[in-house]
Structure 1
């Protein structure tokens, strides 16, 4: 039975690799490097201004380049919601500093910009928090795009810039569509600094919705659709981005596989303690996506850690490989779990800044 199961799984993987779109990537490089940045929140300092944020990301990129070979193609990935505190980046960081909770900070930001937010609320027919994101999106997009475009070009890397909740914009900051939508978006830049594309999060967690399960107001974001999911071609393979919770959903993974995805990037921000139960559950995301029958070849899961006011984020960033490519690879796992194959590198801490990297030979 065991041999039969292995044979069936291998045939399923072969089927996936032969799906339409699976061979659409450019001629793949022989080797490349993948980096997952485990970013630690320090929003009162790092988001004090656009220049402060750019300086912070620049310092991280210097650390990254100290760990990789600059002569080999490199994919650098940042975590989910790295752009969220940009709500306060335009002379409003004092509001974030003085607030006790993040919800209080948002409320006070709405009060400070009451006239402008009210205008957006009335014009687009949305509630207060959505109106705030609509009004702030111009400032947020400028700081986010300028920083990551410049970093990708300065260091000559492919860069998945985590994610940011804002209106969808083009590379020059102009709106893709002038409507009332705000998404959790992850932008992807090439080594020339130009935008390769962006991905929308499809499956929102309760805090990203209008209200959570307890009736508390959330970020009131819009969800993307399966049909909108994209896969991005690079010289070392097709990059498929699944923003955090999306990587737990088989429909998202299958859609990315059908479109030719090879390298799964899962920008994450886990607002929970990194318990043994959380660690076990996390195996149902990127690690599982490189098991049978999906067939994705590698994954990068950069995690956000540290406190954002009253919300604490924990997790271990990781890099991994498909079981068929490396059936006898190294054994490791999250800190409280027994070692298994499928991981290539894991951050040693759950709450500290880390750079996790590996070199992959195709």
Structure 2
């Protein structure tokens, strides 16, 4: 909800750069402890007497697909783990494959989506309340829902990379779906559904007129332009960069345009605040850590216009410049070739003594904005459903064992065999 003050808005933003591991997602207790540890990192930096906005990282709920099957983490790669999960959860996955005609990897995620969504949202709501903060929950794969009475009904086939924004009461401010997916998020990877550009909205709050551009979206002019047109003043960019930070980058629309990752990152939050007429600040937390055979690394940042952040600094492998209010150092400084070598040492399965030795930390900045003139957007049907869930007015149906249903499905085949 929009809260306007004639005296303007003074608040603090906090970006948390955590390290994850597969073990953080193998049980509900482990996941809650991992998310809580991030709010504990933020706690010493919370500003008393003013609103605080804590921003978490992208896809921090994706590995919940591992929940309840910690043994698969010993298989070493995400591909092997996903295959093993598919086979062991075949009763729940098979009907989704047949009924909704989705890929095996999307069916695997949808099969346990009710329990994982409930765990994710309940945990984030409880943390927002306990720490008294506005919370950008990061993002997680989430289906679309609609509310029918006191029950949430899932829309078939869809699975978005979605950010949820909560207020200090744990109530829903709004949600945003990622529009531009990376190749790893498309059909050849975890097979998510791209969000419609037309559904991107800005949410006015005491901590800014919030627009969310999840990872790659913050690099895209159509996303930034739509948020600017709606009066976005604070851009949130939850991120999970799935590559060594000092390795080359090449993404659509031109995968042959290979440059260092940090050079590419200047075209997201930093560029948005440097060139926008409306976006005053941007918050870009990045997760680090090797997740089985996958590598994640980066440098979290809070950016602003040059006149508000005149100190010269920048990502490694780039020249110092104004525009960074706060920037987490990388694990090392030095010549470019040395930094590229260190990035390879940190990466998954490098075998180096420094493998998985990333830097974690917290960034914060005190920001000021005039009173908001942005109207509160009407809620979508999906947001109405999530709000009811968070407030305890509705519930998600629990998954039921599907062996009996599979038995019924096989009954005609059995009867035919008996007649022979």
**1:199 equivalenced with 2:176 (yes/no):** yes
- Counterpart-to-counterpart distance in 1, 2:160 and 2:240: 16
What is the TM-score when the length of structure 1 is the normalising length? 0.86
Match in the other structure for 1:247: 218
The answer on whether the counterparts of 2:56 and 2:137 sit within 8 Å (CA) in structure 1 is yes
Q: Is the contact made by 1:26 and 1:237 (CA closer than 8 Å) also made in structure 2?
A: no
Rounded Cα–Cα distance in structure 2 between residues aligned with 1:58 and 1:247 = 27
Kindly indicate whether the alpha-carbon contact (under 8 Å) linking 2:15 and 2:363 is maintained by their aligned counterparts in 1. Answer: yes
Instruction: Confirm or deny that 1:306 pairs with 2:289.
Output: yes
Matching residue of 2:367: 360
Gaps of 5+ in 2: 248-259, 332-357, 370-420
Q: 1:306 to 1:262 in 2, by over 3 A?
A: same
Corresponding residue number in structure 2 for 1:186: 163
Deviations 1:175-195 (A, max 9, x none): 465221011111111100111
> What is the CA–CA distance in structure 2 between the aligned matches of 1:92 and 1:31, rounded to whole Å?
45
Stretches of structure 1 that go unaligned for 5 or more consecutive residues are 1-23, 212-217
Match of 1:108 in 2: 84
Partner in structure 2 of residue 8 of structure 1: none
Q: CA RMSD in A?
A: 2.1
What's the offset of the Cα at 1:55? 1.9
User: Deviations along 1:266-319, whole A, 9 cap, x unmatched?
Assistant: 001111111271111100011111122453110000001110111111100000
> Which residue number corresponds to residue 139 of structure 2?
163
**Aligned with 1:145: secondary structure?**
helix
1:92 equivalent in structure 2 = 69
Instruction: Summarize the alignment of residues 95-174 of structure 1 with structure 2, pairs less than 5 Å apart.
Output: 95=72, 97-169=73-145
Q: Label 1:30 to 1:197 Cα distance change in 2 as closer, same or farther (>3 A).
A: closer
Structure 1 partner of 2:48: 70
Contact 1:171 1:194 in 2 (8 A): no
CA, structure 1 residues 192+356, in 2 after alignment: closer, same or farther (shift >3 Å)? same
Q: TM-score, normalised by structure 2?
A: 0.74
2:299 paired with 1:316: yes
Aligned to 1:48: 26
Q: CA deviation at 1:334?
A: 0.9
From 317, 320, 339, the equivalent of 2:320 is 339
How many correspondences in the alignment?
328
1:242-321 mapped onto 2 (5 Å cutoff): 242-275=213-246, 277-321=260-304
* SS of equivalent residue, structure 1 residue 304: coil
- In the superposition, relative to structure 1, how do residues 36 and 264 fare at CA in structure 2: closer, same or farther (>3 Å)? same
How much does 1:83 deviate? Answer: 0.5
Structure with larger Rg = 2
Q: Is the 8 A contact 1:29 1:236 kept in 2?
A: no
Answer whether contact 2:86 2:108 (CA < 8 A) is retained.
yes
Q: How big is the shift at 1:231? A: 1.1
Runs of 4+ aligned residues of structure 1 deviating over 4 Å after TM superposition are 169-177
**Contact 1:331 1:339 (8 Å CA) reproduced:** yes
* Counterpart contact for 1:232–1:238, Cα < 8 Å: yes
Answer whether contact 1:153 1:191 (CA < 8 A) is retained.
Answer: yes
Give 1:259 deviation, angstroms. 1.3
